[in-house]
Chains A and B, each alone.
Chain A
Amino acid sequence: MSDVAWLFVAFLAVWAGIGAYLFTIAARQRRLERRLEDLESRR
């Protein structure tokens, strides 16, 4: 593999990692908001 390919893999890993973390936070937030809406509508 060329140096540029290794460089690409490293930067991809960093930004995909941060992107994936942001995605999981957003998914957890959506799930919690739905649960909260459901609970509050029952009360």
Chain B
Amino acid sequence: MKGSHSLDRLRLLGAAAWAAVAVSLALIFFVAREAVAAMGGQLQRIFYVHVPSAWIAYLAFAIVFVASIAFLRTNSRRWDLLAHAAAEVGVVFCTLVLITGPIWARPVWGTWWQWDARLTSAFVLWLTYVGYLFLRSFATDPGRAGRVAAVVGIAGFVNVPIVHFSVRWWRTLHPQGPTPADPSTGSGLGAPEMLAFFVSLAAFTLLFAYLLAVRVRLGRLADRAEAVEVLDARDRHPVEATA
């Protein structure tokens, strides 16, 4: 009964996320106006998916950070599952940031990539969490891998503020973007564009919550299958299991 309720909630969250995505796409293409040529004109619309993807990557890696600390303190599998799921979803969104950025840069800057502070630190962030996932996939001792991965998850988060503030700390080609104090500063956005941006941000956040919940559920299912497998092996080879 409890399972069916949680599945219903998951489906509801999925429906809400996709509905928000549909609204945000309508706003991006039919409400937001074309940007000035210096920002890429039509291409500036990539910003409405590039920036929310980066926000989700930050959020996901912050969850990895908190869940990893909680796991090391409590040794509870629940936190480990959450950290692993958040890292995987975070890598997906960080990959999208690293794909959409160069697609915008190629026609606007005339090059796919620049090894400047923002792009390099974002690439290092991506590599760190890809390494985290590899560590978990190829470890022979899952318990130890969970603890080592938690340390990587905590240490890797140090790079998130570096990525975010790199455009202010160093001279980079990357646009500075809005600040919380003055959201329109540096973005060249008016009210319709800000609306499209914040709705897109909300839609991506809902989508992230949905993907995270689905991924945590998958982790729980894998744990259950493993537990049944152990019991099954014990039933078939009781002497070896007790030895």
Contact surface of A with B, Cβ cutoff 8 Å: 1, 3-4, 6-7, 9-11, 13-14, 17-18, 21-22, 25, 28-29, 32-33, 35-36, 39-40, 42-43
Contact = CB atoms under 8 A, between A and B. Distances in A.
Contact of B218 (A11, A17, A32): A32
B168 interface: no
Contacts of A7: 42-43, 45-46
Contacts of A6: 43, 46, 103-104, 106-107
21 contacts: A3-B40, A3-B41, A4-B42, A6-B106, A9-B103, A10-B49, A10-B99, A10-B100, A10-B104, A13-B100, A14-B99, A14-B100, A17-B96, A18-B96, A18-B207, A18-B211, A21-B89, A25-B214, A28-B218, A35-B229, A40-B228
Contacts, number: 78
B8 interface: no
Interface string B205-233: 00100010011011001101100110110
- SS of B interface (majority): helix
Closest 4 CB pairs of A and B: A3-B42, A10-B103, A39-B228, A10-B46
A10 B97 CA distance: 10
Contact of A17 (B43, B95, B217, B228): B95
